[in-house]
Amino acid sequence: MTDDTFDSGFPLATSSWDAAEYGAIQRVVDSGRFTMGPLVAQFERDFASAFGAGFGVMVNSGSSANLLAIAAAVLDERVDLQAGDEVLVPAVSWATTYYPLQQYGLIPSFVDIDVDTLNLDLSLAEAAITPRTKAIFAVNLLGNPNDFAALTALAERHGLLLLEDNCESLGAKDDGRFAGTVGAMGTFSAFFSHHISTMEGGMILTDDEATAQMLVSLRAHGWTRGLPEKNAVHDKSGDEWDDLFRFVLPGYNVRPLEMSGAIGIEQIQKVPSLIAGRRENAVYWTERFADLDSVRIQREQGESSWFGFSLVLEGALAGRRKEVVQAFAAEGIESRPIVAGNFTKNPVMKYLDAKVPAELPAADKIHEDGLFVGNHHFPVHAGIDRVYDVVAKLS
């Protein structure tokens, strides 16, 4: 695609597939094997290798990746994490950052964000730690990694388990490390609108083999099938027929399709160029909006993979988000809230046993005045100009 692709508008997301992905799909169709198999296993190896991790476990979505990461942490006898413990989470994220915590009896302890980076405010996170706090579930939002040196130091200082929800930030780096490889586990999404797409799909990275084996079991019913004879979950009996149906963990069925694995093998090879394209667009975006005091754009931490381009309305545009959204729509510019805004304002909170501060001013600002538009892996300067023109005119 080229810069003139969006003559009639500026969409939120576009496909990164070409003949390679469609060829991979056809090879799976021709093979007749559609359930999870050797191509998923190859994609797991390729994905882990691309980001310098020891092990990758593929699932059917980023949401399922979060679920299994929390499940593995709670069920692992080596980890001090159990029902009733508190887990620090940013107040701005997607719903399935929080739901697995509730489902395992953990208490999400909401912490405000930094309005510039859109990630966890680490000074507020440290102040929120109590004797019941056992973990941090950090989120790298809209492609922007956390300050990993400060984040890991905070976790180590207080003996906290560190997990990363990296579903929006594949390919981002900070302090020489890829986002999603800094904590004990990191989760990824390969949904259509994300950096790579396997139709539906998710991945969990870890450097710990025992954790990877737990994830493999949890992914498919909690059984021992797929594990080596000697493993960290439950050794097999040696009776092959009997070992097919031995259930040892309270698992799920969140397996991916073989077709998704085949597509992933092709997609992961394109990651360097996909991220480079997004980062080049971001250079133009930040330069273009540098002179507008009516919007605040995301401040890059480390090397963002720029999932999208956020705007927080200020000055003349504060309180006018609906008007901005309507003006965008009139010009064919698709936009969305910044993830879920201040998640604690959602009605679903009545089902969550959570700790919520009396005030979350930065998250509230995002909730009322935040939105984002798309980024793409090919040049979109004309689309960025279109966004700028609308914002400048309204300002």
- Give the residue numbers annotated as catalytic, written as ranges: 194
* Residues 306 and 126 sit within 8 Å (Cβ to Cβ): no
The span from the CA of 283 to the CA of 312, in Å, is: 18
Residue 312's nearest CA partner among 338, 276, 340 is 338
Euclidean distance between the first and the last CA atom of the chain, given in angstroms as a whole number: 31
The span from the CA of 289 to the CA of 300, in Å, is: 14
The span from the CA of 170 to the CA of 196, in Å, is: 8
